[in-house]
């Protein structure tokens, strides 16, 4: 097992599995998108603080790169969360059959 996979707490894995097993697929998508967005936001906050604190050191560039990637992830997962929220509200449902 690689180091990144080993670092995922069991309760996080359990929350993800629970969402995947949710019978209402739109709710599952909403929960997973929210988890992804929250994790990306926390990573961005951490990376930004570390990059700011390490200016002028050899590790600054890697922290700054992580900050930029995490910011991109925040924006992308926010879009996922928005789309999943619309699906959960029924905005992605196909139109009802007028003849039906």
Q: Indicate if the pLDDT at residue 80 is higher than 80.
A: yes
For residue range 8-43, what is the model confidence (pLDDT) as tens digits? 999 999 999 999 999 999 999 999 999 999 999 999
Q: What is the pLDDT of residue 95?
A: 59
Q: Indicate if the pLDDT at residue 2 is higher than 90.
A: no
Q: What is the pLDDT of residue 92?
A: 64
Domain ranges for the chain: 7-88
Q: Indicate if the pLDDT at residue 100 is higher than 50.
A: no
Q: What is the pLDDT of residue 91?
A: 77
Alpha carbon distances (Å) from 49 to 44, 52, 65, 71: 8, 5, 13, 13
Which pTM does this prediction carry? 0.82
Of the candidates 65, 64, 7, which has an alpha carbon nearest to the alpha carbon of residue 39? 7
């Amino acid at each position: 097992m690689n180091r990144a996979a080993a670092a995922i707490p069991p309760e996080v894995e359990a929350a993800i599995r629970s969402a995947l097993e949710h019978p209402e697929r739109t709710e599952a998508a909403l929960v997973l998108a929210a988890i992804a967005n929250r994790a990306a936001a926390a990573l961005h906050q951490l990376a930004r603080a570390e990059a700011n604190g390490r200016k002028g050191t050899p590790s600054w560039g890697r922290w700054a790169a992580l900050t930029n990637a995490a910011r991109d992830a925040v924006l992308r997962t926010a879009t996922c969360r928005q789309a999943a929220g619309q699906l959960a509200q029924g905005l992605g449902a196909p139109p009802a059959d007028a003849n039906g």
